[in-house]
Structure 1
Amino acid sequence: MSPRFPDFRLGKVLATSFTGTLSERHGDPVERIPTPGRLADWLAVSGLAVASCTTAQLDRARELREAIHAAATAAARQDPLPAAAVRVINDFSTRGGAAAVLTPENDRQWRLRSASAVDDALGVIAADAIGVLAGERDGRLALCASPTCRAAFFDTSQSRSRRWCDMGTCGNREKKARYLAGRRADAAAGT
């Protein structure tokens, strides 16, 4: 990956990892797919390699990303899913033509119609979002406790009480802020 771009935050759930390509939504937003080439990079590391992407395909990918984020946020809050987001997710899911294939290692991989089939890749992401939103997986949608992040993530922890989208970033940042605030309070109190 190019050092001029922020690292990808890859989770175990394709759909919520995709929404994580825009982070710090309530702070200083960090766009992790700012160019068509960067979208192709993200798709490749997510097992959906395409030869290239166009600006129009990047725009469509961002439309899908925001629809998934809106629906996942509503689901995490136990609110009704936004009708417009559902329409976008369904449209992308039916537009794609990827097929699931089994590898000799007993893993599922996605086979796109061609290396230029960005719509197929986006269809896989939309289908994954449908599975998560429909409750077909063991876990729950949650929102990151960081006030600047609020990313939707899929919590599969045993207690379903995970607070952070990523402990290595949001969790550590929030814990460090609380620690420093405590130290400042102790210093102000003269202890």
Structure 2
Amino acid sequence: MGAAPQARRTRVTARARDLRFDAGSLSLNLVATVGRRPVGPVERMGDAERLAAWCRGVGLTPAPGYAADALLRALHSVRDAAYDIASSLLDGHHPSPASVDLVNALAAGEPPAPRLELTADGLRPAPGSDLLTEDALLSAVARDLITLVSDESRRKRLTMCASEVCRMLYLNPASGRPRQWCSMRRCGNTAKAAAHRRRRAATDGNRP
């Protein structure tokens, strides 16, 4: 008997490990920290350094002294729940009750109230008012996901990249032409190049 056929493998490049900040929402940007889910998941936020880079990219600032390992584990958990819930809007599966319970529990935490400070030069945001506790940061992600699910106009814009390798979840723009790929510069160009190669191969194969 011959060996069983192996699944097609794709090379994991540095670009495949890039953090993505173009999914259209905070919670979907978190979901995008795992790439290539259908063909072999690529972890893009696996350590404290990448966690800090992601927080900077989405504009969240953890308060000094936060426990990076604990926050990373918590974000990984809510990431899985967010993917389960968001993808259910596209394929119709029932998300796990544990996913829904986790998101609801995290969203119950109160985000910090913004504060103003009056100075000799006028009003400005109070120093440190943008710093988030770990619970507040997780709450921000969970609340964003709930807003996405609850807002019909945003739900209608939720889509999945047409690339079989990528399958990133993202929001199409509110106006203009819907995107077929998560990014024209990434999956769009790759798909167009592959289609061109197929057409060229077909043409060459038909030549006498």
- TM-score by structure 2 length? 0.74
In 1, Cα distance between equivalents of 2:157 and 2:109? 27
Corresponding residue for residue 200 of structure 2? 183
The one-letter code sitting in structure 2 at the alignment partner of 1:9 is: R
Cα pair distance change 1:99/1:179, threshold 3 Å: farther
Corresponding residue for residue 147 of structure 1? 164
- Please give the secondary structure, in 1, of the residue aligned with 2:61: coil
Q: Is 1:44 aligned to 2:44, yes or no?
A: no
Corresponding residue for residue 180 of structure 2? 163
In 2, Cα distance between equivalents of 1:4 and 1:177? 18
- TM-score by structure 1 length? 0.80
The one-letter code sitting in structure 2 at the alignment partner of 1:25 is: R
In 2, Cα distance between equivalents of 1:5 and 1:38? 14
- Cα deviation code 1:106-158 (max 9, x no counterpart): xxxx955x55x222112111111110011265452111111122222112253
Mapping for residues 46-85 of structure 1, pairs under 5 Å? 46-50=58-62, 51=64, 52-85=66-99
Cα pair distance change 1:180/1:96, threshold 3 Å: farther
User: Cα RMSD (Å) of the superposition?
Assistant: 2.9
* 1:171 CA displacement: 1.8
In 1, Cα distance between equivalents of 2:53 and 2:141? 15
In 2, Cα distance between equivalents of 1:70 and 1:54? 24
Aligned counterpart for 2:144 among listed residues 128, 136, 144: 128
* 1:78 CA displacement: 4.0
Cα pair distance change 1:30/1:86, threshold 3 Å: same
- Please give the secondary structure, in 2, of the residue aligned with 1:148: coil
The one-letter code sitting in structure 2 at the alignment partner of 1:134 is: S
* 1:29 CA displacement: 2.5
CA contact 2:31–2:83 (8 Å) conserved in 1: yes
Moved more, 3-12 or 20-29: 3-12
Structure 2 unaligned segments of length 5 or more: list them.
Answer: 1-13, 117-121, 123-127
CA contact 1:98–1:124 (8 Å) conserved in 2: no
Structure 1 unaligned segments of length 5 or more: list them.
Answer: 105-109
What percent identity do the matched residue pairs reach? Answer: 28
Which of the pair has more CA radius of gyration?
2
Aligned length: 181
Mapping for residues 94-133 of structure 1, pairs under 5 Å? 94-95=108-109, 97-99=111-113, 111=129, 114=131, 117-133=133-149
Corresponding residue for residue 10 of structure 2? none
Q: Detail structure 1 runs of 4+ shifted over 6 Å in the superposition.
A: none
CA contact 2:60–2:137 (8 Å) conserved in 1: yes
